[in-house]
Chains A and B, each alone.
Chain A
Amino acid sequence: MTTASPAPELSLRDKPGFSDLQGVTVEHGLNTQDMVVNIGPQHPSTHGVLRLVTTINGEIVKDMEPVIGYLHRSKEKMAEGRSYFQYQPTIDRVEYLSSFYDHYVYVTAIEALADLKVPKRVEYIRMICMELNRITSHLLWFGTFLLDLGATSPFFYAFREREAIFKLFEDITGARMMYNYFRFGGVNADAPPGWLDDVRKVINELPFRFDEYEAIANKNPIVMDRCIGVGVTSYQDLLDYGVTGPSMRACGVAQDMRKTNPYSCYNEVEFDVPTATEGDVYARYKVRMAEMRESIRIVHQLLDNMPGGDSAELRKLEKEHAKVAEEIAAAKKRVTVAKKNEEAPNAADVAKMAEKAPELPFDYRTTGQKVNLMVFKPPAGEAFSMVESPRGMLGCYLVSDGTPKAYRVKWRGASFSNLTILPSMMIGNLYPDLMAIFGSLDIILPEVDR
């Protein structure tokens, strides 16, 4: 081996990058060929009906094209064919994991159009519902995300806590998932007596559960291997693709509508916007876990400062008011038709009494103005309202022409925009990382297809 023999000339075939067939390349001395893998529409990890036409070479993703529309149920066209109130139940089905948010944008758009004042108690109840809904949505994400990575048990833990919160939703709205609870200028019904204490009980328990989850997952070598440094995005990429929500906050930008454009009563509560700087899958995981704790912090403050307190006290107060109202009505009757052997009360006195009749303060009510939902017509005009949903910025563009039916309702679903970034994140990445990256975006397909 001492005498240097001339290096054997590489045949053309062995040269890197050589290709004699379409799609056949030679890498590291191996003939490889592009292969198209069709993921979905029915696939356990796509969380809905999504088709990903993926071209892979070896384990590297060369191209990816999401095909959507399998769940298109013409939600926007449906709005044009029914009254504003009749459309409401169908909203739940747009985004069934956090449908309080969809109702909230729809209802606030109409409230802005019709200039309806909303009592503070209503806003507080709405905020409690929304924040609890954020927790259930993130819990489901936590369970399914780890399920995608191969861990089965967190799924059951997450669903246990989710069910406890769903029980609270069932108590207040009557439904576990399809709430249809918010109304124009109010909510459907007040919280049942003792509900606030029930909420307190559940959310007191949750932080310990989250500690358990994080003990399982945070330092788990498999989770760390599959998440850290995977699916890194830059902030500019996210802006270019219109990605919002936890993915954006995982890039170090505290863009949260609750802080930047405070709606409802978010300027009255104290909370932080959790951020991370790495921009990878693990950062998104950490941001979501921290967000759940912030939500609990918000709910605690709302429970403590609920205008009117528990509804049992309010009902007692209302009964007293009703008794006074009855007395006044009786006195009014006696002014005109006095009883036998009795002097008719002075009409002026009765009028004064009626004026002083106690009334539930506006902020304690569950409906601001009485709205006849069946014939409700907001004035002609348009509104674009937005909310920070668990998946990002959710908007509703509502155009009214003054008739009882909406002229146009357009949903700006966060998932629709969030999905667009997936191909650019996947191209050049390992195929097995697909489910970790896709899972970390937290996309819900009914909202994409509407």
Chain B
Amino acid sequence: MSDASPPANKADKTPADDAPEPIQHGPLGKALADKGLTLEALGDDAVGNETLGVACADLLGVAKALRDDGFDLLLSVSGMDYKEYRQSVTHLYSTKTYQTVTLKTDAGGDDTVPSLVPIWPAADWHERESYDLMGIHYEGHPDLRRILMPIDWIGHPLRKDYKEEDPRLVWNRR
């Protein structure tokens, strides 16, 4: 983690040097990066699961590579709302190496992320839930509609700026 080479000359220090050292890839991220896939190392979470940041365009490629590496079980897809942008977090588990890996994909301005259903069919309901509660659209999902909330619900309740202002509800009419 701290093996990053220090700046060659301390005198010509730029503001960028004050930023924390870039996080190095863990073994899994390194193996994927060696295959020519672009991903960002985000270190380990508190429990020790390796976390990888993947751009929307690279997600399917990385996912396929991970599945071929033995990550055959999709545990969950969580929608995250970081106010400026939405993020889709996928947790994968390998029934061969017993590892868990976290993939983080930032949704763009249109809140769209590629769907993982073609790779892990288990993502179906999880992505529907993320769409329902967080409003992230999963491109390529076969049947993206609400799952937990009523079908005519307005808004996505887990968003940080969500306000329940449906005029049809009695308590909002007062």
Pick the interface stretch among B12-20, B27-35, B44-52, B56-64.
B44-52
Tell whether A384 is near chain B: CB-to-CB under 8 Å: yes
Among A395, A410, A412, the most chain B Cβ lie within 10 Å of the Cβ of A410
Digitize B108-143: 1 where CB-to-A-CB distance is under 8 Å, 0 elsewhere.
000000000000111011100100010000000000
Among B73, B149, B160, the most chain A Cβ lie within 10 Å of the Cβ of B73
Whether A393 contacts B158 by the Cβ 8 Å rule is no
CB B132 to nearest CB in A, in angstroms, measures 8
Among A115, A253, A399, A408, the most chain B Cβ lie within 10 Å of the Cβ of A408
The complex places the Cα of A385 from the Cα of B49 at a distance, in Å, of 9
Whether A420 contacts B93 by the Cβ 8 Å rule is no
CB A74 to nearest CB in B, in angstroms, measures 6
Tell whether B76 is near chain A: CB-to-CB under 8 Å: yes
Tell whether A308 is near chain B: CB-to-CB under 8 Å: no
From 378 to 402 in chain A, residues with beta carbon under 8 angstroms from any chain B beta carbon are 381-386, 393, 395, 397, 399
Which one of B47, B146, B147 lies within 8 Å of A385 (CB-CB)?
B47
Whether A72 contacts B149 by the Cβ 8 Å rule is yes
From 224 to 271 in chain A, residues with beta carbon under 8 angstroms from any chain B beta carbon are 239-242, 244, 253, 255, 260-261
Tell whether B155 is near chain A: CB-to-CB under 8 Å: no
CB B141 to nearest CB in A, in angstroms, measures 14
CB A117 to nearest CB in B, in angstroms, measures 14
Question: Could you say which residues of chain A place their CB within 8 Å of the CB of B122?
Answer: 239-242, 417, 420
Given contacts A69-B147, A255-B95, A384-B45, are A416 and B75 in contact (CB under 8 A)?
Answer: no
From 61 to 100 in chain B, residues with beta carbon under 8 angstroms from any chain A beta carbon are 72-76, 78, 80-81, 89, 91, 93, 95, 98, 100
Whether B76 contacts A239 by the Cβ 8 Å rule is no
The complex places the Cα of A50 from the Cα of B122 at a distance, in Å, of 20
CB B25 to nearest CB in A, in angstroms, measures 18
Question: Could you say which residues of chain B place their CB within 8 Å of the CB of A450?
Answer: 148
The complex places the Cα of A419 from the Cα of B120 at a distance, in Å, of 16
Q: How many interface residues does B have (CB within 8 Å)? A: 35
Whether A242 contacts B73 by the Cβ 8 Å rule is yes
Whether A113 contacts B46 by the Cβ 8 Å rule is yes
Question: Could you say which residues of chain B place their CB within 8 Å of the CB of A382?
Answer: 45-46
Tell whether A77 is near chain B: CB-to-CB under 8 Å: yes
Whether A68 contacts B147 by the Cβ 8 Å rule is yes
Tell whether B157 is near chain A: CB-to-CB under 8 Å: yes
Whether A240 contacts B147 by the Cβ 8 Å rule is no
| 18 new A-B contacts at CB < 8 Å, known A109-B47, A261-B98 | A69-B146, A72-B148, A112-B46, A239-B72, A239-B122, A241-B121, A242-B73, A242-B126, A253-B95, A384-B91, A408-B158, A410-B76, A410-B89, A416-B126, A417-B122, A419-B125, A420-B124, A450-B148
Which one of B46, B91, B125 lies within 8 Å of A395 (CB-CB)?
B91
The complex places the Cα of A434 from the Cα of B89 at a distance, in Å, of 34
Which one of A108, A255, A383, A420 lies within 8 Å of B45 (CB-CB)?
A383
| 6 closest residue pairs by CB, A with B | A242-B122, A383-B46, A112-B46, A412-B76, A69-B148, A410-B78
Tell whether A449 is near chain B: CB-to-CB under 8 Å: yes
What does DSSP make chain A's interface, helix, strand, loop or mixed? mixed
A-B contact pairs, 26 of them (CB 8 A): A68-B148, A69-B147, A76-B133, A77-B158, A80-B160, A113-B46, A239-B122, A240-B120, A241-B121, A242-B73, A242-B120, A242-B122, A242-B126, A383-B46, A384-B49, A384-B102, A385-B47, A386-B75, A393-B75, A395-B75, A397-B89, A408-B81, A408-B158, A410-B76, A412-B76, A416-B126
Whether A112 contacts B75 by the Cβ 8 Å rule is no
Whether A416 contacts B46 by the Cβ 8 Å rule is no
Whether A76 contacts B121 by the Cβ 8 Å rule is no
Whether A412 contacts B46 by the Cβ 8 Å rule is no
From 61 to 81 in chain A, residues with beta carbon under 8 angstroms from any chain B beta carbon are 68-69, 72, 74, 76-77, 80
The complex places the Cα of A61 from the Cα of B93 at a distance, in Å, of 33
Question: Could you say which residues of chain A place their CB within 8 Å of the CB of B129?
Answer: 416
CB A123 to nearest CB in B, in angstroms, measures 16
Whether B120 contacts A260 by the Cβ 8 Å rule is no
Tell whether B167 is near chain A: CB-to-CB under 8 Å: no
Among A76, A112, A113, A261, the most chain B Cβ lie within 10 Å of the Cβ of A76
The complex places the Cα of A386 from the Cα of B45 at a distance, in Å, of 13
Question: Could you say which residues of chain B place their CB within 8 Å of the CB of A112?
Answer: 46-47
Tell whether B150 is near chain A: CB-to-CB under 8 Å: yes
Question: Could you say which residues of chain A place their CB within 8 Å of the CB of B80?
Answer: 399, 408
Question: Could you say which residues of chain B place their CB within 8 Å of the CB of A393?
Answer: 75, 93
A248's closest neighbor in chain B, by CB?
B95
The complex places the Cα of A380 from the Cα of B125 at a distance, in Å, of 29
Which one of B95, B98, B157, B160 lies within 8 Å of A239 (CB-CB)?
B95
Whether B74 contacts A242 by the Cβ 8 Å rule is yes
The complex places the Cα of A293 from the Cα of B138 at a distance, in Å, of 44
